[in-house]
Amino acid sequence: MTEPSSDKLIEVLRKAVSRTSMLAEGNDPQLDSVVRQIRQTITKGANAEEIQKALNNAEPFLIQSDEAHLSRAKQVRSTLQDLIDILEKQDDKQVPQSEKKQLEAKIRLHWQQPSQWPLLLKDFLTLAENTLNQPATDHAKSSFFKRLLNRSAKNDAIKNTQDIIIQVSHTLAGLLNNLSLPSIHDNDIADLKTALSKNDNLQQFPDLLDETINLVMVAVGKNQESLTNYLNQLNKQLASINESITHSDQTQKSLSKSREGLNTKLQQQMKDTSKAVQEASELNSLKSLINERLSTISTTMTAYRSQMKEQEKQSNQSIALLKNKVTRMEKDTTSLRALLQEKLAQAMTDSLTDLPNRTAYQDAILPLCKAMQKAHKPICLVVCDIDHFKKVNDTWGHLAGDKVLRLVPKQIRNMLTKEDLMFRYGGEEFVMVFPDTTLEKAIERAENVRLAVTKTPFNVQGEPVSISVSIGVAELQPQEDPESLFDRADKQLYLAKDGGRNKVMAHK
């Protein structure tokens, strides 16, 4: 192995190391901290075989834990929605609509992020307290707490509120069944479930919800642990490769040192020889002197050659080892990259409709707007919302609602060109982007979308259900930012709703 090719290999290895750690960076704060650990421990030694084995064992476990996480996230989302629905069902109090909508928007945005679950539950607690503490619309005006303590007043209303608390407690107990927790928490869960099943008192509710939140946080921590384990394995493998690189570097240094040593030795012997030749006075002694010098030089050369051979052998061995490690590393890098890309795609995709979600919209819209502004081309934003969608849920149930949410965008997609983009912005709201399209043309196409939805015969549980959408359209102005464009289109959507729904309105 010659020096330049070995240098090249070392360079490849360095790139592989940094590329692998960079791959993981920026996806998640916890992940980032593990990546930092990778960089710190990269200079320490490690056992490659053990690491490889552990890495192979860790991978399926990670995938499994991802799947479990998704199904838990879905459970949490539907539990939160159920909790809100229970609050809505009581007949003597009104759930504050703007607070409710804000919470639903947060659920839609954050249901896949475990770190947000406790916050969502806390927000629900606030909504529940604000709802239940309101004066009853048709009953007594005293606060819920007063009424709870003074049982002579409005027994019906109290009964209703207690029913709500019982149902909410029951739903939270269901959530606990779905948390994946170590057995050490079995007793806590059992106690909490018993307390929840007996609870009919709003005053105890915050404590019970707090305990539920604590257990949710423990479950979330456990999930992170599996990811951290996986990355620790990767960390060890990187450290092992780094050890090999350092060794190869040392071999290179010792090779060039030997070469320098030989040079100096040879120069010194040549100098001595030439001095001895000049000083020699007769032929015989000159002959024997030259023979002696030549034999010294030859011994030095032989010693050097065998030293070189030995070092080359060692170098070849360590290069072969490195090659193996690089191949393995490249393989792991590829599978890690695929895993991260999959995670990224998951984070950008709405799992119900398979459409890009609001995060994807926010990533895409700014560069798109800038590109169109730079090219002096028009671009239009179209905000579309299914009309009276709550009624679909209330009449046919959430599953039927989900079915409609999957079918409507399919119908809409048929009316779009391949340049158009479509996102599920939230609940029953979809956003479309028509690049290189004037406002006039966008209105015409939005009208086609509206007609296509109205004309589609939707069937739920064998019965026809008529579905319509309201649409707001706006065209990007020179210098305008995407937020202001969205606001203008959204205002038009509200005008369409106010104007009786099943309409297209545009900002002209």
Ligand X SMILES: Nc1nc2c(ncn2[C@@H]2O[C@H](COP(=O)(O)OP(=O)(O)OP(=O)(O)O)[C@@H](O)[C@H]2O)c(=O)[nH]1
- The footprint of ligand X (CB under 6 A) covers 81, 104, 352, 385-390, 393, 398, 401-402, 405, 427-428, 497, 501
Quickly list DSSP for 294-325. Answer: HHHHHHHHHHHHHHHHHHHHHHHHHHHHHHHH
Nearer to ligand X, 17 or 460 (CB): 460
Query: Alpha helix locations (H) across 199-282?
Result: 205-279
Nearer to ligand X, 248 or 393 (CB): 393
Minimum distance from CB of 427 to ligand X (Å)? Answer: 3
Cα dihedral 160→164→170→171 (10° resolution): 150
Question: Cα separation of 229 and 235, whole Å?
Answer: 10
- CA neighbours closer than 13 Å in the CB half-sphere of residue 219: 27
Nearer to ligand X, 377 or 406 (CB): 406
Question: Cα separation of 139 and 298, whole Å?
Answer: 113
Q: In degrees, to the nearest 5, what angle opens at C-alpha 472 toward C-alphas 466 and 474?
A: 155
Nearer to ligand X, 235 or 393 (CB): 393
Minimum distance from CB of 164 to ligand X (Å)? Answer: 17
Nearer to ligand X, 82 or 211 (CB): 82
Look at residues 73, 116, 104 and name the one whose alpha carbon lies nearest to residue 425: 104
Minimum distance from CB of 91 to ligand X (Å)? Answer: 17
Question: Cα separation of 357 and 220, whole Å?
Answer: 23
In this structure, are strands 379-386 and 429-435 parallel, antiparallel, or unpaired?
Answer: antiparallel
Minimum distance from CB of 422 to ligand X (Å)? Answer: 16
Minimum distance from CB of 327 to ligand X (Å)? Answer: 45
Minimum distance from CB of 101 to ligand X (Å)? Answer: 6
Minimum distance from CB of 491 to ligand X (Å)? Answer: 14
Q: What is the CA radius of gyration of the chain?
A: 36
Nearer to ligand X, 496 or 506 (CB): 496
- Residue whose CB is nearest to ligand X in the complex, by number: 401
> Which 8-state DSSP code applies to residue 112?
T
Nearer to ligand X, 87 or 476 (CB): 87
- Residue bearing tokens 């105890």: 204
